[in-house]
Amino acid sequence: MTAIPNTTTVPVDTVLTFLAKGYSVDQLLRSRPELTRPVVAEAIALASQSLQARYSAFSEMATPVPA
C-alpha cells in the first residue's frame, strides 16, 4: 500500500479503486473531500510509474519467442 506523499493518508489503491469502479475524478473528489485534483493526478502517476517499472523489468527478463 503506497500512500500519496504530502497528503492525508490515502492509499493510491483507494484512488485507483474509485476510478476503476467508474467514478470520474469530479465524483471522486466529491466522495473524498480530503483529496484534491493534484493528489489524484499524483496517485495516477505513482501507479503508472510502478507498473512501468514492474513490467519493464519483466520484459527485460523475458526470452523472445522465435517467429
pLDDT tens for residues 21-37? 999 999 999 999 989 99
Backbone angle region of 27, left / alpha / beta, with phi > 0 → left and psi within -120 to 50 → alpha: alpha
DSSP label at residue 21: T
Determine if the pTM surpasses 0.95: no
pLDDT category of residue 11 using cuts at 50, 70 and 90: confident
For 1, the 3-state DSSP assignment is coil
Cell of residue 17, nine digits: 479503486
pLDDT at residue 65 above 80? no
